Amino acid sequence: MVGGNRLVGTVRVPGAKNSILKLMAASLLAEGSTTLTEVPDILDVTIMAELLRRLGCEVNQDVSGGTVRIDVPDKPGHQADYDLVRKMRASICVLGPLVARVGEADVALPGGDAIGSRGLDMHVNGLTRLGAEVTSEHGFLIAKAAQLHGAKIWLDFPSVGATENLLMAAVLAKGTTVIDNAAREPEIVDICQMLVAMGATIEGIGSSTLEIEGVEALQPVTHRTVPDRIVAGTWAVAAVMTQGDITIDQGDPGHLEIALDKLVGCGAMIEELPVGFRVSMDRRPKAVDIVTLPYPGFPTDLQPQFIALNAISEGAAMVTENLFEARFRFVHELGRLGADVHTDGHHALVRGRSRLSGAPVEATDVRAGAGLVLAGLVADGTTTVHEVHHIDRGYSGFVESLQALSADITRVDD
């Protein structure tokens, strides 16, 4: 890509990566045909579809229409193999529904992004409280339970993955389950709404305490995926960095309150629309401090994009990462573009520079890749981002969308 172009136009936000994969896993809870809409055309959906096929489901993807239909058999398989799970950590989300539905799950210990440790202790402890016997053998996490039962579960941290797994297990458990200190992300609300439509009984949706009354069986449904707030936030940052004017169709500003407030602090103008919002900028942004926290705090998945923003802003800012200890790995690549970023533990001091300089860089994870592309869009000369398969895992048609907004960018396949 060649930096310097102002991004202008409209971009449409698809369904959320961090929701659709869990919705696909939730389909395992009911025999029959579940249809999901607003499905993003990303690599992770393809991987999850293949995982479900190996569990005995028939999965039909309509990429152009943004739908996935999943036909779930009476008794799905129970083994999720390493060759798929290693590509996508979200594969662990089949653990809860499989234990609840078929009484057993063998899930390879996951891989995924290199952004730090994300242990499974809360998943294991919660399933054990629900009556499952959980062991680890030969690289697999194995959970068995003839019948799960309700329990009171306290999460040490409001983990999204643990909340989702335990929620999907609890809806078919016998009795009442209470999950305290549950994650509150819009994606959690989304899966709760789908489960309720399937026949589950869940109280406290959107709060830190979820109360689930188990039912004997669930029914398949058609469900619309919540818009991807991280994709929407990425486009918002792109508008500010390039001093552009982008209308973000289908983006929900209510899911991005703190991030958008930070952009206003940078000097941006934000206008809420009937279905989406508009971000415009007519000057060099001002640096802003951020501190990542669980929702409704500042999202860690927007941290790399904001570091890139601060790298070309007026002044200096401190970025504090409280969720993933290796999230700063990408700043070394950003430094190749001339960014002035110094890290110390979970803090990064970013001193803004008036210009960056194009260079070859390498994406280390989904959001780091997006952040590097945004930096390249404002760097002098040519920037080449390698390992863009990471970006494919979270962004649908990223290059095409940027081209439509007037970016000088081309994808070159190896």
**Is residue 278 within 8 Å of 271, Cβ to Cβ?**
yes
Give catalytic status of residue 392 as yes or no: no
Are residues 358 and 372 in contact, defined by beta-carbon separation less than 8 angstroms?
no
Which sign does the torsion angle of CA 367, 1, 353, 283 carry?
negative
Structure tokens at 107: 């899930």
CB 32 within 8 A of CB 220: yes
CA 391 from chain centre, in angstroms, equals 12
- What 3-state class would DSSP assign to 246? strand
Query: Which pairs from 386-390 meet CB under 8 Å and 24+ separation?
Result: 386/360, 386/361, 386/362, 387/362, 387/363, 388/363, 389/43, 390/113, 390/363, 390/364, 390/365, 390/366
d(CA 249, CA 274): 9
Of the candidates 44, 106, 113, 252, the residue annotated as catalytic is 113
Question: Do 57 and 128 form a contact (C-beta atoms < 8 A)?
Answer: no
What is the C-alpha separation between 321 and 156, in angstroms, rounded?
18
Rounded Cα gap, residues 81 and 36, in angstroms: 24
Calpha distance 22→168 (Å, rounded) = 9
Catalytic site residues?
113
